[in-house]
């Protein structure tokens, strides 16, 4: 591909690394150039130059009502607010990635403040050291409750965390044995979360300080050195590389691409460096990669809310739940399955219903603003293209563009009363096959 950097490439990058590849964002990225755009994304710097300050939850209203920091529903809405308004969208998107990777549910934790604390941990290490994040997650209160670390004591080890730290967090199935799990569980013994004190502490008498043997190494491993052993395994870089590629790039990346990213995971000190190389690579911009991933419900909702400047509503996260993804409440320790499961019939219907409700709520002044103005002599296909780009759709298939152009021509392009037809076009764009993809 060389050094091509046009609207097409910029929109693709922003569609994967942010929540909206709108006109303003793509125009800014093209002007900055690929290298600087990627640098800003990884550094958490604004692409457009805006300096929007995120407000605390207690300063916001949803549906015109105050929100409370101790209500999980309000925190779900607040996280969506962050996704829509942040000037560091890649950090927020990686926070969402870690939520699915280290999937922890409020259903068992039952403490809003601990779920939020874990969310802040993911945000802190979003693009930082994966090794350090794994160490911190093992002593995160929500994770300790979720995987029963309080029950992991000398002589009676609980294997839940030890199993998942290998199977789901670092190595993947088939790269460890049941004996490795038992030995790792012994290494993790002795840590406890005291709810009354809101404190994580180490209980030396409950720690198994005898020799352990796992993954071919022997020693008096503890919660730190056992993680070091995991990070010396060849399976770990490939496992993480594949998860990153599935999330940002392709459902079926080539083995060569997996190995290339795995080498970066192994050699680079931060995941920001890994993603920087991924986003700068020629492979990332190949034709068969673009529009090849299905948007998660939260990505779908956040992009629409941001593009149409909709006022904050708790209904947005409720809509995402109906589509199959509820923040802070993943289905199990393996997280959301993703992929084609997002477009099962009931989930897809929920997307259509959301698009219909949103189109009705769009403010008429937005439709007459400069962003949506095309020109008095614009043809129907120009209206469709412009409206599509406003909501992050830069490439429409021929049949979609033809049908929507016909609709635009029939309903509002040649009419003096345009609002109803314009809202209808927005709705049809939002339910188009292309709108479900990124």
User: For each of the chain's 438 residues, which pLDDT tens digit applies?
Assistant: 457 999 999 999 999 999 999 999 999 999 999 999 999 999 999 999 999 999 999 999 999 999 999 999 999 999 999 999 999 999 999 999 999 999 999 999 999 999 999 999 999 999 999 999 999 999 999 999 999 999 999 999 999 999 999 999 999 999 999 999 999 999 999 999 999 999 999 999 999 999 999 999 999 999 999 999 999 999 999 999 999 999 999 999 999 999 999 999 999 999 999 999 999 999 999 999 999 999 999 999 999 999 999 999 999 999 999 999 999 999 999 999 999 999 999 999 999 999 999 999 999 999 989 988 898 899 999 999 999 999 999 999 999 999 999 999 999 998 888 899 999 999 999 999 999 999
Closest CA to 109 of 119, 97, 123: 119
- Calculated CA dihedral for residues 166, 171, 173, 175, nearest 10 degrees: -100
**DSSP letter string, 95-117:** HHHHHHHT---HHHH--HHHHHH
* b/e burial code for range 32-50 (CB count within 10 A of at least 16 → b): bebeebbbbbbebebbbee
Contacts of 370 (CB under 8 A, 6+ apart): none
CA distance 222 to 418: 68
DSSP 3-state of 48: coil
Domain boundaries, the chain: 58-74+90-231, 297-436
Q: What DSSP element (H or E) covers 192? A: strand 191-194
CA distance 172 to 221: 21
Whole-model pTM? 0.97
The phi and psi torsions of 294 (rounded to 5 degrees) equal: -85, 130
């Amino acid at each position: 591909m060389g050094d091509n950097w046009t609207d097409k490439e910029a929109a693709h990058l922003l569609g994967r690394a942010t929540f909206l590849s709108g006109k303003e964002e793509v125009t800014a990225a093209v002007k900055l150039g690929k290298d600087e755009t990627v640098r800003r994304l990884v550094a958490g710097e604004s692409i457009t130059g805006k300096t929007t300050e995120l407000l605390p939850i207690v300063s916001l209203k949803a549906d015109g009502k105050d929100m409370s920091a101790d209500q999980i529903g309000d925190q779900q809405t607040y996280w969506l607010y962050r996704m829509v308004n942040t000037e560091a969208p890649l950090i927020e998107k990686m926070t969402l990635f870690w939520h699915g990777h280290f999937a922890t549910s409020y259903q068992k934790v039952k403490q809003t403040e601990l779920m939020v604390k874990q969310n802040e941990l993911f945000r802190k290490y979003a693009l930082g050291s994966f090794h350090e994040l794994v160490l911190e997650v093992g002593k995160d209160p929500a994770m300790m409750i979720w995987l029963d670390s309080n029950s992991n004591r000398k002589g009676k080890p609980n294997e839940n965390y030890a199993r998942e730290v290998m199977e789901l967090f670092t190595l993947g199935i088939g790269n460890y044995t049941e004996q490795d799990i038992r030995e790792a569980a012994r290494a993790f013994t002795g840590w406890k979360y005291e709810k009354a004190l809101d404190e994580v502490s180490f209980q030396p008498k409950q720690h198994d300080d005898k020799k352990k043997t796992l993954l071919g190494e022997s020693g008096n491993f503890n919660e730190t050195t056992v993680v070091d052993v995991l990070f010396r395994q060849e399976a770990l870089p490939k496992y993480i590389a594949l998860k990153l590629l599935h999330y940002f790039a392709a459902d079926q990346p080539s083995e060569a691409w997996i190995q290339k990213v795995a080498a970066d995971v192994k050699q680079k000190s931060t995941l920001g460096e890994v993603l920087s190389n991924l986003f700068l690579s020629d492979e990332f911009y190949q034709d068969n990669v673009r529009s090849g991933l299905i948007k998660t419900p939260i990505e779908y909702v956040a992009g629409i809310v941001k593009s149409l400047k909709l006022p904050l509503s708790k209904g947005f996260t409720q809509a995402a739940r109906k589509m199959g993804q509820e923040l802070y409440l993943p289905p199990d320790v393996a997280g959301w399955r993703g992929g084609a499961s997002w477009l099962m019939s009931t989930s897809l219907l929920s997307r259509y219903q959301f698009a219909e409700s949103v189109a009705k709520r769009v403010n008429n002044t937005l439709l007459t603003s400069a962003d949506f103005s095309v020109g008095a002599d614009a043809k129907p296909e120009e209206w469709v293209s412009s409206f599509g780009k406003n909501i992050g759709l830069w490439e429409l298939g021929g049949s979609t563009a033809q049908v929507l152009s016909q609709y635009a021509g029939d309903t509002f392009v040649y009419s003096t009363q345009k609002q109803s037809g314009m809202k209808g076009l927005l709705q049809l764009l939002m339910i188009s096959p292309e709108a479900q993809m990124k």
